[in-house]
């Protein structure tokens, strides 16, 4: 193992005492950066994901331009259903679009658990290339969507405010729903294990739509599948779980074997520490829209956030992905406020 020059992120994941918290931003490799927009004009979304040179360039961009303490591979959670023989397009102005959403037990049977090395080889090539380009400067995070979040898109067919069709399928056809969730889980475990093999330093599971479920249904349709992923990976690599809107499950999540838990901006730092019995590294939870505040306010609020979480067992981040309309200097102000943090 070559030593990573800036290993602050990895040390925080281990719960070590640090001089300041590390900082990165969900969706940092993307749409708020002017250079990213130039690439976007030339190549469509999945071409960017499938071309290792482009994915590498986009992944490294925020390290050079904003100065975060970790890189996260430019990719998308929906490459997993694509590999499973479920067609996914990215429609301008709409977002993810599945022309043939899964609506029946037969549709579930038609979904395959693929050979990830064949179907997702382009991701592994991008990781190898990115690792070379980063040259051990900062750690590289690999990621996947949670099985429930992937399931939501597969059944709904597009983004949604309430994922009513996805929930309907779970509640009216639970056998088929669990069969699909297990197929997604098996694919995701293989996919993430492949990422570990080619050199990512940590992995994050994004449960973006976990908060759509009641606490009981969350256990049943989401958490038990995330737990399988954690169990399969935790001995090999640090795992971060992020459930948006899932504050109600933080206590249980903290006992799952993960290295860190993401927290969104609707949960206070104090409550997040309380629910997790101060036992685990937390990551978050600046409201992405708050990056539209004046810079002095961003700086003040960032310092306040760190004071409230505490500088140890903590990774500064946003409470969800960065928005496309954030000025780059505002993103930098957030990152620099963390980097210049001095504990009181």
Tell me how far apart the alpha carbons of residues 241 and 79 are, in angstroms, rounded to a whole number. 19
Q: Is 176 annotated as a binding residue?
A: no
- Which residues are CB-neighbours of 269 under 8 A, at least 6 positions away? 263, 282, 285, 305, 308, 309
Q: Is 330 annotated as a binding residue?
A: no
- Which residues are CB-neighbours of 274 under 8 A, at least 6 positions away? none
Q: Is 279 annotated as a binding residue?
A: no
Q: Is 46 annotated as a binding residue?
A: yes
- Which residues are CB-neighbours of 187 under 8 A, at least 6 positions away? 80, 83, 84, 113, 114, 116
Q: Is 308 annotated as a binding residue?
A: no
Q: Is 29 annotated as a binding residue?
A: yes
Tell me how far apart the alpha carbons of residues 273 and 50 are, in angstroms, rounded to a whole number. 39
Residue with tokens 């991701």: 123
Please list the alpha-helical segments (H only) found in 207-287: 215-218, 224-233, 250-254, 269-275
Beta-bridge partner residues of 260:
240, 281
Counting Cβ atoms within 10 Å, is residue 81 exposed (0-12), middle (13-18) or buried (19+)?
buried
138 within 8 A of 63, measured Cβ to Cβ: yes
Tell me how far apart the alpha carbons of residues 22 and 217 are, in angstroms, rounded to a whole number. 34
Q: Is 76 annotated as a binding residue?
A: yes
Beta-bridge partner residues of 96:
90
Q: Is 331 annotated as a binding residue?
A: no
DSSP run (H or E) holding 239: strand 239-243
Q: Is 221 annotated as a binding residue?
A: no
Q: Is 30 annotated as a binding residue?
A: yes
Give the CA angle between residues 36, 40, 45 to the nearest 5°. Answer: 115
Enumerate the known binding-site residues for substrate: 27-31, 46, 76, 153, 208, 320
Enumerate the known binding-site residues: 27-31, 46, 76, 153, 208, 320
């Amino acid at each position: 193992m070559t030593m990573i020059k800036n290993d602050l992120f990895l040390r925080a994941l281990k719960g070590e005492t640090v001089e300041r918290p590390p900082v990165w931003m969900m969706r940092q490799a993307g749409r708020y950066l002017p250079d990213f927009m130039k690439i976007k004009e030339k190549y469509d979304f999945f071409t960017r994901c499938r071309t290792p040179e482009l994915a590498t360039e986009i992944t490294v961009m925020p390290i050079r331009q904003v100065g975060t303490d970790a890189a996260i591979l430019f990719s998308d959670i929906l490459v997993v259903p694509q590999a499973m023989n479920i067609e996914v397009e990215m429609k301008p102005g709409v977002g993810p679009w599945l022309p043939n959403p899964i609506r029946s037990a037969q549709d579930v049977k038609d979904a395959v658990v693929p050979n990830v090395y064949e179907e997702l080889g382009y991701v592994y090539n991008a990781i190898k290339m990115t690792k070379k380009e980063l040259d051990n400067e900062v750690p590289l995070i690999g990621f996947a969507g949670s099985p429930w979040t992937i399931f939501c898109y597969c059944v709904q067919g597009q983004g949604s405010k309430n994922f009513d069709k996805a929930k309907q399928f779970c509640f009216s056809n639970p056998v088929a729903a669990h069969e699909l969730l297990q197929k997604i889980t098996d694919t995701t475990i293989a996919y993430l294990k492949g990422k570990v093999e080619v050199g990512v330093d940590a992995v994050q599971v994004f449960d973006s739509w976990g908060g759509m479920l009641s606490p009981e249904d969350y256990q049943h349709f989401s958490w038990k599948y995330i737990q399988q992923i954690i169990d399969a990976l935790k001995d090999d690599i640090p795992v971060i779980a992020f459930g948006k809107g899932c504050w109600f499950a933080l206590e249980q999540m903290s006992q799952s074997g993960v290295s860190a838990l993401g927290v969104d901006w609707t949960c206070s730092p104090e409550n997040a520490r309380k629910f997790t019995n101060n036992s685990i590294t937390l990551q978050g939870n600046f409201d992405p829209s708050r990056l539209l505040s004046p810079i002095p306010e961003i700086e003040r609020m960032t310092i306040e956030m760190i004071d409230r979480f505490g500088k140890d067992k903590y990774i500064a981040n946003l409470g969800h992905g960065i928005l496309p309309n954030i000025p780059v200097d505002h993103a930098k102000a957030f990152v620099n406020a963390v980097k210049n943090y001095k504990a009181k």
